[in-house]
Amino acid sequence: MKPVKALIADDEPLLRERLRAHLAVLWPDLVLTDDARNGTEALELFAAHRPDIVFLDIRMPGMNGIDTARALARSAHLVFVTAYEQYAVQAFDQGAVDYLVKPVDRMRLADTVERLKRQLPGSAHDHAAMAATLDRLAARLGHRAATPARWLQWIKASVGNSVRLIPVEQVHFLRAEEKYTRVVWDEGEALIRKTIRELADQLDPERFVQTHRSVIVNLASVREVVRGMNETADLHLRNGGEVLPVSRSYLHHFRQM
Amino acid sequence: MTRPTSLRFPISACLPARRHAAVVTAFTLLLSLPLHRISGSPYLEVFGHVGCVGAILLVAYSAAVALRPRWLGPRLARLAAIVLAAPVAVLVTFLIAQRGNVVAFLLKPQSQTAYVAMVIMALLFGVPFSLIAMRSERRQRERADRLQIELEKNRLERELLDVRLRMLHAQIEPHFLFNTLANIEALVASGSPNAAPVLRHLIAYLRAAMPRVNDADATLETELQLVRSYLELMRLRMPDRLRFAVAAPPAAALRFPPMALLTLVENAVRHGIDPSVDGGEIDVGGRCDPRTGAMTLWVSDTGVGMPETATPGTGLSNLRSRLHGFYGDTARVDLHEVAPHGVRVELHFQLKERA
């Protein structure tokens, strides 16, 4: 009979070794391939060794355990290994997927080994249920991770010999100056390469409005709007200083103010 | 006449309290009744005299504190005002009653007796009334003080609760704790000599992260020890991906908001090093300009860096306000990009006590 092969994927070396040691005792015939340190390596090693079982850590750098599982689900028995994922465990408990919590308990691992031996040779999983569980997991973990914002949250600007990351809420206004754009914020000003047009698309329109071909202003910084001639206006800012122009085509932003 | 608030005193502080005015009015109305019976004079006339004296004493009582000389305490001032005002009040009352013919009036021995009797009566009632009024005012003040203390206590309790919640919920992440314990279990199981030192690092980290009633003994030195413990634990978990250096602090004994640097280091690991397949280096350090007392502390990483659309967590703004609380409004938190990838966070503030 062909020996059963397994692959361990975990970014923490001590935990890989510990799982190896447990398995050596509980399942001496199991052949362990080289370990994977992340999802990408897991896929490479899987392609090279075609293991029957994959032990997958959920949080790994690069490709995480869930995405790796999606790629592997049809071709191997999967066992997730996780330290503490409250939401993930809920998803697991609905069946379909084997899981272990770290530190791995030997009795619990023995149960898993028995189950795997019974299932093995045979089709890996109920694919539909597996896919549903992975979707739930991905949704839960994705929900917990900071969802990337659509709008620019930081402006990168060279100040001296360093690149400052300026939080947009500290920016008062941005104004085109020849080839550059000048950023004025709480602590000073700097020139950046992004154009007003690019910035107008990238900044949250709830907080920043373009008032002129060459000017974008943070609405929170505006103290008052002074109407001028010919459907134009001047913006006076809270901290004094520069008066910004509002041209006719952008005046509608301030009709309500 | 019995409505002293209608008197035009220049300073509103001299005006009697409404409650005192009501008491004096009621009492003089009452007192006039037996006097009217004894003297046989019409009730309104008696009340005119008694009420006038009462009103003048009341104003004297009320104005005494505001108008007293500095060396005189408020209680003594009030008593002195009553004692001095009593003969004057009676004189004024007679002056009004006699339409100015007071000298002729007072030459009669009968009137002199009346005058003395009236002054004695004024003192007899005025002094105890003042004492009672002062005692009730003191009680009121004490009640207000107690209320104030109670409010302050509530506020402190709320803040403490907030600190506890912050520490328990945000700081000791269960994932971190169980993963670290799993690593220690692996060390113990394999009989590694590293097990004990690693456990000590975990204990140091947990002790620092536990809610504390008193942050007063937190210094930059203890903060950097905490940072080292945390980084040692993380290096155990990702030995091939994490390198770090923590420099000796320039002002070790400086009082420092606990967990302020640790939060930055945790962010550097979580968002910089952990997502990176190749890992990176974390550098924690500081310098102090001995002439100006300008202090700079930094946490720098060579991790994956931060996308321009990354939503800033509440950690940074919390950190900013805690630094303001500790070192004043000139304290700043700056973020810089590290080339080719990574983030450097700098804390700038002014040392209060210059070394």
pLDDT tens, chain B, 355 aa long: 444 444 444 456 677 888 888 888 888 888 888 888 888 888 888 888 888 888 888 888 888 877 777 788 888 888 888 888 888 888 888 888 877 777 777 778 878 888 888 888 888 888 888 888 888 888 988 898 888 888 888 777 766 665 655 555 456 778 888 999 999 999 999 999 999 999 999 998 888 777 655 566 788 998 999 899 999 999 999 999 999 999 988 888 888 888 889 989 999 999 999 999 999 999 999 999 988 989 999 999 999 998 888 887 777 877 888 888 788 888 999 999 998 999 999 999 998 654 4
Nearest-CB residue to B332 (from A13, A21, A187)? A187
Contact call for residues B70 and B139 (beta carbons, < 8 A): no
Nearest-CB residue to A164 (from B174, B178, B335)? B335
Answer whether A164 sits within 8 Å of B336, measured CB to CB.
yes
A5-9/A53-57 β-pairing: parallel
In the CATH scheme, what architecture does the domain A5-140 have? 3-Layer(aba) Sandwich (3.40)
Choose among A114, A102, A6, A110: nearest CA to A57. Answer: A102
CATH no., domain A154-254: 2.40.50.1020
Nearest-CB residue to A12 (from B237, B313, B334)? B237
Answer whether A154 sits within 8 Å of B177, measured CB to CB.
no
Contacts of B336 in chain A (CB under 8 A): 162-165
Chain A residue with Cα closest to B338: A163
Chain B residue with Cα closest to A84: B175
Q: What is the rounded CA–CA span in Å between residue B16 and residue B23?
A: 11
Lowest mean pLDDT among A145-149, A245-249, B227-231: A145-149
Contacts of B310 in chain A (CB under 8 A): 146, 148-149, 153-154
Answer whether A61 sits within 8 Å of B241, measured CB to CB.
yes
Strands (E), chain A: 5-9, 31-32, 53-57, 77-82, 98-101, 154-159, 162-167, 171-177, 180-185, 188-192, 208-212, 215-218, 222-227, 233-237, 243-246
Provide the residue type at B228 as one letter: R
Q: What is the rounded CA–CA span in Å between residue A115 and residue A126?
A: 15
- Any idea of the CA torsion for B270, B276, B281, B285, to the nearest 10 degrees? -30
Nearest-CB residue to A15 (from B183, B240, B312)? B183
Contacts of B275 in chain A (CB under 8 A): 61-62
∠ CA A97-A102-A108, rounded to 5°: 60
ipTM of the complex: 0.83
Contacts of B187 in chain A (CB under 8 A): 14
Choose from A12, A20, A150, A187 for mutation: most chain B CBs within 10 A.
A12
Nearest-CB residue to A18 (from B186, B274, B336)? B186
**Phi/psi at A178 (5° precision):** 50, -115
Which token pair is B71? 């060396």
Which token pair is B63? 């104005």
Answer whether B178 sits within 8 Å of A83, measured CB to CB.
yes
**Phi/psi at B243 (5° precision):** -120, 150
Answer whether A163 sits within 8 Å of B339, measured CB to CB.
yes
Q: Tell me how close the Cα of B209 comes to any Cα of chain A, in angstroms.
A: 19
Which token pair is B196? 């004990």
Nearest-CB residue to B186 (from A17, A38, A156)? A17
What is the pLDDT, as a whole number, of residue A16? 95
Interval A171-203: pLDDT, tens: 999 999 988 999 999 888 999 999 999 999 999
Domain spans, chain A: 5-140, 154-254
B294-301/B332-337 β-pairing: unpaired
Q: Looking at the DSSP assignment, which residues form a beta bridge with residue B347?
A: B297, B333
H helix or E strand, kind and range, residue B349: strand B343-350
Whole-model pTM: value is 0.68
Chain B residue with Cα closest to A41: B277
